[in-house]
Amino acid sequence: MTDKPVWLVTGASRGIGAAITRQALAHGARVALVARGEQVDALAASLGDAALPIRADVSDPEAADAAVATTLAAFGRLDVVVNNAGLHRGGKAKRLAQDSWQQVLDVNLTGPLNIVRAAIPALEVRGGSIVNIGAVVGFRGFPGDVAYASSKAGLSGMTKALAIELAKKEITVNLVIPGLVLTDMTSELTEAAMASMTAQIPMGRMGAEHEIAEVVYWVSQSRYMTGAAIPVEGGLLSSFGVIAE
């Protein structure tokens, strides 16, 4: 075992999660990449021995427990947890299927709690960091996004509650709020929706995955910031325009 810090990143097989993984590795960390699909195996193999692939569905408490246990068995410690795994199901309230609503909450809200519960005993050994990945929609409504918005608003509340609960254990808990970033998830949006949202970003462009990852790393290293919500969204939360339906 080495003294290099260990990260566990959920939703690590692509997009922002993969960018966060690469950022942590670049700073000398070892990283457990947690994702549901087999894509995570190939990514970890390409990143070297410091990357450990773990296939797990974070919405399953037993799978979350096993992911943390596997990380500890392989690396011997856990210092940073990034709750990035996310599921999006669009639809206005009248048309949103009940199972779609529940799936989004299970992954985006219950999933982080499952991982945190499993990780607390390891994180409190040295005083660790939990970084939750939120979304602008959790603070500013978009039509047809009731499930995702509710899950991310809930994650903001969870962050604040956990920050208070875990402060005496010297575990920090913060929320990073990405704006519009071109990932597999946002690529599902129509061109009209993308154009409408991009037009309201004061910086006039979408964000890049590495720009989110850089902030996540910085937040993870701050030892006197907890319960904070850190936007990385080109000023979108400061813009008061109305998103077109």
148 is catalytic: yes
Instruction: Output the DSSP codes for 172-232.
Output: EEEEEEE-SB-STTGGGS-HHHHHHHHTT-TTSS-B-HHHHHHHHHHHHH-SS--S-EEEE
Amino acid at 13: S
CB 6 within 8 A of CB 75: yes
How far apart CA 178 and CA 237 sit, in angstroms, is: 10
The residue annotated as part of the active site, out of 148, 172, 193, 236, is 148
Angle, CA of 207, 85 and 100, to the nearest 5°? 105
What is the DSSP secondary structure assignment for residue 49, as one 8-state letter?
T
Using the Cα atoms of residue 27, residue 33, residue 34 and residue 38 in order, give the sign of their dihedral: positive
Token pair recorded at residue 76 = 């011997």
How far apart CA 54 and CA 60 sit, in angstroms, is: 14
For helices 111-123 and 146-166, give the axis angle rounded to 10 degrees. Answer: 20
Q: Which helix (H) or strand (E) holds 20?
A: helix 15-26
> Which of 237, 212, 225 is closest to 86 using CA atoms?
212
Catalytic positions are: 148
